[in-house]
Structure 1
Amino acid sequence: MSIKVLVVDDSALIREVLTRMLSRDGDIEVVGTATDPIDAREKIKVLNPDVVTLDIEMPNMNGLQFLEKLMRLRPTPVVMVSTLTTKGASETLLALELGAVDFVAKPSAEFAGGIEVFGAGLRDKIRAAARSDVRGRAAGRAEPAKVPIKTAAAPEGSLIAIGASTGGVEAIRAVLSQLPADCPPVVIAQHMPAGFTARFAARLDELCALKVVEAEDRLPLLPGHAYVARGDYHLRVERTSGQLKARLTQDELESGHRPSVDVLFGSVARTVGPMAVGAILTGMGRDGARGLKQMRDAGAFTVGQSQASALVYGMPRVAFEEGAVVEQAPVEAIAGRLVTALMRLRSAA
C-alpha cells in the first residue's frame, strides 16, 4: 500500500518539486496538490490523504491557523515545509507544538548536498509521519499538566542525557518542563537541521525552570542548565580539569545523523559512567540504541519512552529490543523516573 500525500503550497514550483521528489521510490503517491488552506480543506475531505505537507506562509489562511483547525477537527499527520529564517524557525516550532509530526527546510540554491539529499530526507519524514500515532496524541492532549518535581537532590558529577527525533520537540518539552531548577546538567541530542536548534533551545528556556541554551564548544556543563546539540554538529561530553564540558564537532554522520544520539550517549557512557541517567524518546530509526546500551553497560539508569506515548515508536523500540533500556515509561513519567534514579545515586554515594 502506497502512502497517499496531499501537497499544500502556494508556489507552483515547490508543489512540482515536492511531487517529483515524493514520487521517486514508488511507495509514496501524491494524490493531489492544493494552493491554500481553503483548497486543502476540500481536498482532504475528498482524497483522505495519509500525510499532508503544509507550507506556513500562504494566502487566505496562515498555515498555522489551518494546522490548529485540522488537528482539532480531523487529526492528520502533517509535515511542515519551512523557510530557513529566524521567523520560519519560530513558526515551525509552534507548528510542532500544535501537532505537526515533523518539518523539512525548503531547499535553497545553496542547499547542502543538493536536491537529492533533500528528497531522501523528505521521503523518510513522510514515511515516519505515515506510521505516527497522531490521533492517539491528539486524544491525549487534554491531560492536565503534570506538577514539576520540586528537587532533584542529585550528587555532584551526575548528568542527564536525552535523545530524540521525530516527535521529540514535544516529548523533550514534556520531560524538561518537569525537571527542577537544581537538577544536574542535561545534554540533549534532537535530530534537527542547522538554523533551528537555537530557537528550539530558546523556546524550551521560556517553558522550563532550567536555563536552556544551544551547546557551544568547550562550554562547562552546569547544574540547572540544559544544553541542546547544535544542528549539523555532534555533541559530546568530556571531562577536563575535573569539569564536565561540551564538545562540538562536525566529523562524519553517525547512524545517519549529525547530531547523533549514539555519539552523545557513547561519550556520556565513557565520561560519566554510572553517575549518568539517560532517556531515549520518540523517533524513527535506530540512532541512540547503541549509545544507550553503552550507558547501561557502564552502570547508568536508562529509560525508554513507551509505545503508547511515543509519536513514532522507532528509536525507543530498537533500544528496548537491544537491552539498552532498564524500563519503559510514558513521557509524562520520564522526568520522575530520572530524578528517582538520581536520588538513589545520592543515597548510595
Structure 2
Amino acid sequence: MPGHYKVLIVDDSPVMQSVIEAILKEDKTLQIVGTAVDPFEARDKIKLLNPDVITLDLEMPNMNGLEFLKRIMKLRPMPVVVISSHATEGSEIASEALRLGANACLPKPNLSDEHAMQTMRQAVRDACLMEVGGAERRQSPAPSAARPSTPPPASGAAPDLIALGSSTGGIEALEVILGRFAADCPPTVITQHLPGRFSAGLAARLDRAILPHLKVAEDGETLRTGCVYLAPGEVGHLHIRGRTTLTCHIVQGDPVQGHRPAVDEMFRSIASLGNWKVSAAVLTGMGADGAQGLLALRQTGARTFAQDQATSLVYGMPRVAAECGAAEQVLPLQALADALQGRQIMKKVANQ
C-alpha cells in the first residue's frame, strides 16, 4: 500500500498480538502485515513479508527477545520497537535493548490509557521514519554533494570542541569512544537518536563508565573542559553557539529526516561558529542524518571522521557520510577516540 509502513508484531501471546494490532491500526499510515509467536517464526516472516518495522516482546519461547534483537541487528538491521512488561523506564533491560539497537522500548499497553496507546503509535511511526534515507539493508543512494575543493591539512593539535552523532548501535559505540577520553578532554557534544524518557538514564550510565563528566545538555549551559553533553531526546535540536565561550541551546523545530534531535542540526550549528578547532564524527546508525552537517563542518576546516563498516552495527549514516565526501577519514571504532582528540596523525583512507 503506497504511503503505508509494514509492521510485523512479534509476541508469544495471541491476546497481546491482538491488542497491539488494534492500537496500531488506529494509525492509517501503519499496515499490520503479520504476527509471529517466537523469534524463529519472526525470522521466516521477516524474509517473507519484508516489514518496515517490527514490534518485539522480550520474553518468548525458544529464544529471548534480546538475543533475537542482537541477531537482527547483526544479520539484517531494521527498525525495532520493543514492547515488553520488562521495558519500564530506566530499567536495565530497556537500556540493554537500546544499546543493542532498538529504536524505542515501551511497556505492554493498556487499552484504557489513551496516552500510552498514542505513544506506541508514535514510536512505531517514528521508527519507520528513522529508517528511511540510507540504511544499509536498503542501500539507498547517498545524497549528492560537492566535495571540499581543498581538504584541511592533518593536524595533531587538540580540538576546542568534539562533536559526535549516532543512532542504532550508537550507545555501545559511544561507550567505547568516551571510555578512551581523558578526564580533561575537550568539551564534547553528542546527538544520539533516543526516546526522551531514556536520556537521563543513558547519561547516568555513561557518566559512571567514563572519566569525563557526562550529563544531559541544558539550554544556555556553558561548555566546559572535561565535560560531555548529551542532547535531550525529542524536546528539540541541540545547537552550539558562541564567539569567546561556547554554549548549548535546545532549539525547537520539526524533526529532520525523522529525527529530533538531529545530528545534522547540531553539526550545522557548529559549522557556523567560525574560528574554533573542531573534530566531529558520524557513528553507526540507520539513515543519512549527519552526513550533510559533517560535510559543512569539513568545508569550514574541521577534522571529520566516519566509523568504518566493520565496527558499525548498522553502516548507514557513516556510509552516506563517507560517500558524499563529508568524512576526511573512515576509521575503526577503536581508533576514533585518538583521532578525535588529535593524539596522532593517521593516513587518510577516505575521499582522497
Same fold (TM over 0.5): yes
Residues of 2 paired with 1:116 and 1:73: CA distance?
22
Match of 2:199 in 1: 197
CA contact (8 A) 1:8 1:52 kept: no
From 106, 110, 120, give the equivalent of 2:115. Answer: 110
Match of 1:238 in 2: 241
Say which is worse superposed, 270-279 or 118-127, in terms of deviation. Answer: 118-127
Deviation at 1:291, TM superposition (A): 1.1
Q: Return the letter of the residue paired with 1:121.
A: D
Post-superposition Cα deviations, 1:194-228, rounded to whole Å, max 9, x if no partner, equal 11111111111121111110000111111111100
* Alignment map for 1:89-108 (pairs within 5 Å): 90-97=92-99, 99-103=100-104, 105=106
Residues of 1 paired with 2:331 and 2:193: CA distance?
21
**Residues 15 and 204 of structure 1: CA distance in aligned 2, closer, same or farther (over 3 Å):** same
**Residues 328 and 22 of structure 1: CA distance in aligned 2, closer, same or farther (over 3 Å):** farther
SS of 1:263's partner is helix
* Alignment map for 1:204-243 (pairs within 5 Å): 204-232=206-234, 233-239=236-242, 242-243=244-245
**Residues 272 and 255 of structure 1: CA distance in aligned 2, closer, same or farther (over 3 Å):** farther
From 59, 70, 86, give the equivalent of 2:89. Answer: 86
Deviation at 1:190, TM superposition (A): 0.9
Match of 1:262 in 2: 264
**Does 1:330 pair with 2:332?**
yes
SS of 2:341's partner is helix
Deviation at 1:279, TM superposition (A): 0.4
**Residues 332 and 5 of structure 1: CA distance in aligned 2, closer, same or farther (over 3 Å):** farther
Identity of aligned residues (%): 34
Post-superposition Cα deviations, 1:254-307, rounded to whole Å, max 9, x if no partner, equal 333210111111111122555010000112222111111111111110001112
Match of 2:41 in 1: 43
SS of 1:309's partner is coil
**Does 1:7 pair with 2:10?**
yes
**Residues 103 and 116 of structure 1: CA distance in aligned 2, closer, same or farther (over 3 Å):** closer
Say which is worse superposed, 67-76 or 263-272, in terms of deviation. Answer: 67-76
Aligned residue-pair number: 310
**Residues 249 and 73 of structure 1: CA distance in aligned 2, closer, same or farther (over 3 Å):** closer
| Unaligned segments of structure 1, at least 5 residues | 35-39, 134-152, 345-349
**Does 1:306 pair with 2:301?**
no
SS of 1:340's partner is coil
CA contact (8 A) 1:274 1:301 kept: no
Deviation at 1:189, TM superposition (A): 0.6
**Does 1:121 pair with 2:119?**
no
Residues of 1 paired with 2:274 and 2:187: CA distance?
12
Deviation at 1:317, TM superposition (A): 1.7
Match of 1:284 in 2: 286
Residues of 2 paired with 1:216 and 1:342: CA distance?
32
Q: Return the letter of the residue paired with 1:103.
A: A
Deviation at 1:322, TM superposition (A): 1.9
Q: Return the letter of the residue paired with 1:235.
A: L
Say which is worse superposed, 271-280 or 161-170, in terms of deviation. Answer: 271-280
Output the TM-score relative to the length of structure 1: 0.73
Greater percentage in helix: 1
Q: Return the letter of the residue paired with 1:86.
A: E
Output the TM-score relative to the length of structure 2: 0.72
Deviation at 1:53, TM superposition (A): 3.4
**Residues 292 and 125 of structure 1: CA distance in aligned 2, closer, same or farther (over 3 Å):** closer
Q: Pairwise CA RMSD of aligned residues?
A: 4.0
Q: Return the letter of the residue paired with 1:67.
A: L
User: Greater relative contact order: 1 or 2 (C-alpha under 8 angstroms, separation 6 or more)?
Assistant: 2
Match of 1:148 in 2: none
SS of 1:265's partner is helix
